[in-house]
Chains A and B, each alone.
Chain A
Amino acid sequence: MSSSTAMTAMNLRFQKDSLCMQDPRQNLAVEIDALHKWYGAFHVLKGIDLRVAHGSRIVICGPSGSGKSTLIRCLNGLEAYRQGTIMLDGTRLGEDAVQTALARRQTGMVFQNFNLFPHLSVLANCTLALRRVAGMARTEAEALAHHYLEKVRIPEQAHKYPAQLSGGQQQRVAIARALCMSPRLMLFDEPTSALDPEMIREVLDVMTELAHDGMTMICVTHEMGFAREVADEVVFMDQGSIVEQAVPATFFSAPSHPRARNFLSTLLH
């Protein structure tokens, strides 16, 4: 049994014991149990189990169509699921609309194609939810937005519109926009795969820094350098199942599943 699995088991027992305690830190950041999802007759997710402790970084990889995006989208309610449970910080997602909205507000999402609001300036993209969801005053919201724009290293672009920025800059704005809501969990769905090679680095640098700050992160990515550097665990998915889950050193040097081996060799070529 690897040390991380032992840790997870311990966490789990600890959580069961302290079910009625109020401190949310006693909970796991994410706890997925026997998750199933179908698109019509197509069985996309076939019994996913995944535990993510607070502060840990999980990288999910796997061939196209294996269900990575579907899984990550289930985690913030963008996709409904049919069977199983998702607990975010002890709150069951999808059970009660109010609780779900709260749980969701603590989750930030970064999309492959940025999804910035093109009719709003960079600053307004960042302050929109602060003002409308968190009910923050304008000056306060703008100060916070400037803080995060600095963090992603584009404070000087605040008054531009998304169409005037490079892809890498747009993705960094998207990260800043998500961070503004002070999420406790950040989800990334292939954040660099729509970018030109020279822009991938700047986005990965920001993500690495975020990881060093202790953010809980689940990233779907095929950037194996990033996975090696920051991931606590690499999760390999194929055909709707998690077929391998290991610390990066193990995953990259001695993947046990043949499909994972196969996948890694195609990535290297």
Chain B
Amino acid sequence: MSMFDIWSGILGGFRITASVTLYGLIFAVPFALVFGVAQYLTTGFARFLVTSVIEFWRSSAVVILLFVFYYALPVVGVTLSAMTVGAMVLGLNTAGYASQAVRAGLQALDRGQKEAGQALGLSRAAILLLIELPQALRAMSPTFINLVIQLVKATSLVSLITLTDMTFRAKEIAQVEYDPVPVYLALLLSYFMVCYPIALFGRWVERSVNPVREASRGI
């Protein structure tokens, strides 16, 4: 097998890798926003509950969760597709981290921002949506891009629950080829080719969401 054949074989798994990442984000984004904001706003027992849910997804080992949800749940009658399990487990694990970035971003804002909103008569919800979140999410955008890249790389674990992603393809090819070195080199390159554009995109996002810094550079 030529290097090119190996590589195109691996890229045959790109669609699965991309799907797990995108479906994972569908789980991750709402969870991170809702739970990050909830942790910021709640106190006492409600906050304890929110924190418990976040910690469950953040602190459990992803491999074990994949196995539990894919192989053990059917025993009690709940059957989820491998794609659903992969996207959910990886997405919510990433969301556990992202929710902490959301909360930290909100907490880092000057108290005066909220007070200025209150003094203008804005409701708590309006202050959150129009004043606090836009600033917090902007400040945290580098962290979110990091997490997306981590999510892409973590999708390699779904090969353990039968999904034929890029890593699964590489393992297959490595079994028929005698030399695994070029196969895994090609795999490494494949992940890099997916992640690097995301990093570039992240830098562009960072620049375009900070109009002030951009504009003042021009002065």
A residues contacting B by CB (< 8 A) are 76-78, 101, 104-105, 107-109, 111, 113, 115-119, 128-129, 132-133, 160-164, 177-178, 181
Contact present for A133 and B120 (CB under 8 Å): yes
Q: How far is the CA of A109 from the CA of B211 in the complex (A)?
A: 27
Contact present for A104 and B121 (CB under 8 Å): yes
Which of A77, A101, A132 has the most C-beta atoms of chain B within 10 angstroms of its own C-beta? A132
B residues contacting A by CB (< 8 A) are 110, 112-113, 115-116, 118-122, 126, 130-131, 134-135, 138, 211-213, 215-216, 219
Shortest C-beta distance, B187 to chain A (Å), equals 41
Q: Closest chain B residue to A109 by CB distance?
A: B119
Contact present for B212 and A161 (CB under 8 Å): yes
User: Which 5 pairs between the two chains have the least Cβ-Cβ distance?
Assistant: A115-B116, A129-B120, A115-B112, A109-B119, A105-B121
Q: Closest chain A residue to B112 by CB distance?
A: A115
Contact present for A181 and B121 (CB under 8 Å): yes
Shortest C-beta distance, A43 to chain B (Å), equals 23
Contact present for B119 and A117 (CB under 8 Å): no
Residues of B within 8 A of A177 (CB): 120
Q: How far is the CA of A101 from the CA of B110 in the complex (A)?
A: 23
- Known contacts A163-B212, A164-B219; decide if A76 and B119 are in contact (CB<8 Å): yes
Residues of A within 8 A of B138 (CB): 119
Shortest C-beta distance, B202 to chain A (Å), equals 19
Q: How many A-B residue pairs have CB under 8 A?
A: 66
Contact present for B122 and A132 (CB under 8 Å): yes
- Known contacts A161-B211, A161-B212; decide if A117 and B113 are in contact (CB<8 Å): yes
Residues of B within 8 A of A160 (CB): 215
Option from B113, B120, B131, B215 in Cβ contact (under 8 Å) with A161: B215
Shortest C-beta distance, B37 to chain A (Å), equals 17
- Known contacts A118-B212, A119-B138, A164-B215; decide if A129 and B121 are in contact (CB<8 Å): yes
Q: How far is the CA of A162 from the CA of B110 in the complex (A)?
A: 15
Given A129-B122, A132-B122, A161-B215, output 7 extra A-B contacts at Cβ < 8 Å: A115-B113, A117-B113, A117-B131, A119-B212, A128-B122, A132-B126, A133-B126
Shortest C-beta distance, A215 to chain B (Å), equals 16
Shortest C-beta distance, B130 to chain A (Å), equals 7
Contact present for B211 and A133 (CB under 8 Å): no
Contact present for B130 and A128 (CB under 8 Å): yes
Residues of A within 8 A of B121 (CB): 101, 104-105, 129, 133, 181
Q: How far is the CA of A8 from the CA of B108 in the complex (A)?
A: 45
- Known contacts A132-B126, A163-B216, A164-B215; decide if A115 and B120 are in contact (CB<8 Å): no
